[in-house]
Structure 1
Amino acid sequence: MSHTPHATLDFLINGAEALVRVQPVDVSAEWGELIVESGPWLRDPAAGFARGALAVPLDDVTGYIVAAGSPRDSWPVSLGIRIDLVADPPVDGSQLVVTGELVARDDRGGTTRGTVVDSTGAVIALITQRSHLVPVEGPPTAPVVAFDAPPDGVCIRDALGIREPSRGVVEMPGTVLSANGIGNVHGGILICGAEFAAMSALGADGDLRSTSIDMAFVRPGSADETTTFRTEVMHTGRSLAVVRVVATAATGKACAIGTVTVQRVSS
C-alpha cells in the first residue's frame, strides 16, 4: 500500500471520552495504549454495571491504530465491533489499562483487536474491530464541540439522558457526551445504548450482565439529534438471553444493528 501516513496524530478527548474518563498513553500504527479511570459512574441501576461503556476506549484504541497508519486525507470509521465482557469493571478509582494491536491493514481500512485489564492484570473486556477509511480534509485536530465532563456522582445512563418511553425502547437525546471526533455518535456509545436497551427489554434489575455485544454500523448518526434503540428478544431462558437491537437516527434510518447476549448472575 502506497501512501504517506500521519506523521503525528493527536488523541482527542471528545464528549464520549470525557464521559468514560479516557486518557491517552501512546498510539502508533501498530499498537496503542489508553488509561481509563474507574469510579461510581460505571454502576448502573438496571445492568448493575455499565459494562458496555468499555466499548468507548476499546473503539478508540483500535480505531486510532488504523488512523495512525492511514493517509492524511483518510479517517477510519467502524464497520463492525464485537466486544466480549468477562467481568464487571471496578468502581473504586483504580485505573484500567486498554491496549490494542493491528491485525491486518489494506487500502480500504484495517482489522484490530484489544483488551481492557484491571489493576491486577485480569482481563475484563476484549474487542475485535473492522474499520474502513473515508475521505476527510485532514484528521480531527480539536474536539468537535465544547463539553463539560459530568460530575462523578452521575452514572453514565443519567449523564447521557437515557429515557425509556416503553419497555425495550430507549431514547438517547442529542448530547455532546455521545460525540466522536467528527460529530457523530461514537461507536462505543451506540454499544452502550444497545446494552441499556437490551436490559430494558429483559426488565433487568441489577441481576443480569452483558457477556457479548456484536454490532454492525451501517450509517452515521448525528450526536446532535436523538438516537432511538428498539429491541427484539430473540431468546430468553433461565440463565441466558439474546436481544437484537436496532439503533435509529432522527431520520428514522438505522445507524447500527447489534446482538446483545446477557447472562443472569446472583444479585
Structure 2
Amino acid sequence: MTTSSPVFHVGGPEVMLRIGDVTVSAERGEARTEGGPWLADPVAGVSRGALAVSCDDVTGYLVAAGSPRGRWPVSLGIRMDFLADPPLDGTLRVTGELVARDERGAMTRGAVTDPSGRTIATIIQRSHLIDAPRTPGEHATPQILEAPESPVREQLGLVETSPGVASMAPTVLSANGMGSVHGGILVCGCELAASTCVGAEGDMRTTSIDITYVRPCDAVGTTTFTSEILHRGRSLSVVRVVAANEGRKPAAIATVVLQHI
C-alpha cells in the first residue's frame, strides 16, 4: 500500500478494502482498490457500496490537497451510481477530479473502472471546509484484519437486531483518521442495511445511493442503521436509511435504490 501524497490517511477502511497506489493533487486524484471475496455479500450479492470508501478518499483528499492550512474538508453529501458489480478479483482504478472550489468547500466527481477499463461506478461529492485542530491520525497496517477474506458485512460486525434495524459495533475498520465513521463506510452500511430490509437474497443490486451527512458519527460507539421501505415493486425498491450515533441523533440519511437482476 503506497501513497505519494502526505495528506492521505491510510486507516482501517483502506486496509480492509486494499486501497493503495494513491496520488493526489489539488485538481486530481487516483488510487486502486482490489476486488476479492470481501466484496461478496450473502444478502446484497456483491457490496457495490464498498466502492464508496475509495471514491470518497480520492474525491475528498484532492479537496484537502488544495485547502488552506488548518482547514479540512468534510463531506456534505455523496451521490453514487452503479453500472455493474465490481469483480471479485482484479484491480480497480479509482479516479477523481475537481469540479469547482471556493472558500467554503468544493464539488468533486469521480469514477471506478474495472480491469477492462469499463466504468462500473460514478460519484459526485460535495464538501465544506472546517477548522481542523489536527491532521488525521496514525496510518493503519494490514495486521488489523482479523478475517481478511470474509465479507465486509462480517468484518464490520453489521448485524440485524430487529426488523428494519441493523447495528455496527465499534471497530477500527470503520474509522477515519479523525475518529469518525468513514463516510464511505456509512454508504456501505446503508446499502447493506437496505438490502437486508427488503430481503434481497442476492437477486437485487444497488443502482444508486444518495447520502447526506448531517453530523459526525463517532466511531467508538455503535452505529445504528434504521431502514424504511418507501417503495417495493416487482423490479425496483426504494429504501430510506438513517445512520445514527448512540444518542439516536441522525448522522447520515440515505436513499438507496435497488433493482432486480
Task: Bin the TM-score by the shorter chain.
Answer: over 0.9
SS at match of 1:36: strand
Which 10-residue stretch deviates more, 111-120 or 129-138?
129-138
Contact 2:21 2:31 in 1 (8 A): yes
CA distance in structure 2 between the aligned counterparts of 1:153 and 1:67, rounded to whole angstroms: 32
Question: Could you say if the C-alpha distance between residues 221 and 260 of structure 1 is closer, same or farther in structure 2, counting changes exceeding 3 Å?
Answer: same
CA distance in structure 1 between the aligned counterparts of 2:166 and 2:69, rounded to whole angstroms: 37
- The Cα offsets for residues 33-81 of structure 1, whole Å up to 9 and x where unpaired, read as 0010111111000000010000000000000010000011011110000
CA distance in structure 1 between the aligned counterparts of 2:76 and 2:220, rounded to whole angstroms: 21
Unaligned runs of 5+ in 2: none
> Who is 1:103 aligned against?
99
- The Cα offsets for residues 202-229 of structure 1, whole Å up to 9 and x where unpaired, read as 0111001000000000000111110000
CA-CA distance at 1:24 after TM superposition: 3.3
Contact 1:145 1:176 in 2 (8 A): no
CA distance in structure 2 between the aligned counterparts of 1:37 and 1:149, rounded to whole angstroms: 15
Percent of paired sites with the same residue: 55
SS at match of 1:97: strand
1:27 to 21, 24, 27: 24
CA distance in structure 2 between the aligned counterparts of 1:138 and 1:237, rounded to whole angstroms: 47
Taking structure 2 as the reference length, the TM-score comes to 0.95
CA distance in structure 1 between the aligned counterparts of 2:16 and 2:164, rounded to whole angstroms: 24
Unaligned runs of 5+ in 1: 1-7
Which 10-residue stretch deviates more, 75-84 or 12-21?
12-21
CA distance in structure 2 between the aligned counterparts of 1:211 and 1:147, rounded to whole angstroms: 33
Q: CA RMSD in A?
A: 1.5
CA distance in structure 1 between the aligned counterparts of 2:22 and 2:15, rounded to whole angstroms: 15
Question: Could you say if the C-alpha distance between residues 10 and 54 of structure 1 is closer, same or farther in structure 2, counting changes exceeding 3 Å?
Answer: same
> Who is 2:170 aligned against?
174
CA distance in structure 2 between the aligned counterparts of 1:246 and 1:176, rounded to whole angstroms: 21
Counterpart of 2:66, as a letter, is G
CA distance in structure 2 between the aligned counterparts of 1:72 and 1:137, rounded to whole angstroms: 11
Does residue 82 in structure 1 map to residue 91 in structure 2? no
CA distance in structure 1 between the aligned counterparts of 2:21 and 2:239, rounded to whole angstroms: 33
Counterpart of 1:166, as a letter, is S
Contact 1:144 1:181 in 2 (8 A): no
CA distance in structure 2 between the aligned counterparts of 1:132 and 1:155, rounded to whole angstroms: 32
Counterpart of 1:76, as a letter, is P
Does residue 162 in structure 1 map to residue 153 in structure 2? no
Does residue 189 in structure 1 map to residue 185 in structure 2? yes
- The Cα offsets for residues 140-186 of structure 1, whole Å up to 9 and x where unpaired, read as 25238996024332110000011101222110011110001101000
- The Cα offsets for residues 71-104 of structure 1, whole Å up to 9 and x where unpaired, read as 1101111000000011001012x10000000000
> Who is 1:231 aligned against?
227
Counterpart of 1:206, as a letter, is G
1:202 to 198, 208, 218: 198
Question: Could you say if the C-alpha distance between residues 71 and 147 of structure 1 is closer, same or farther in structure 2, counting changes exceeding 3 Å?
Answer: farther
Does residue 72 in structure 1 map to residue 69 in structure 2? yes
Taking structure 1 as the reference length, the TM-score comes to 0.93
1:143 to 129, 139, 143: 139
Contact 1:40 1:152 in 2 (8 A): no
Contact 1:10 1:141 in 2 (8 A): no
Contact 2:7 2:61 in 1 (8 A): no
> Who is 1:3 aligned against?
none
Q: Which runs of 4+ in 1 moved over 3 A?
A: 143-147
Counterpart of 1:96, as a letter, is L
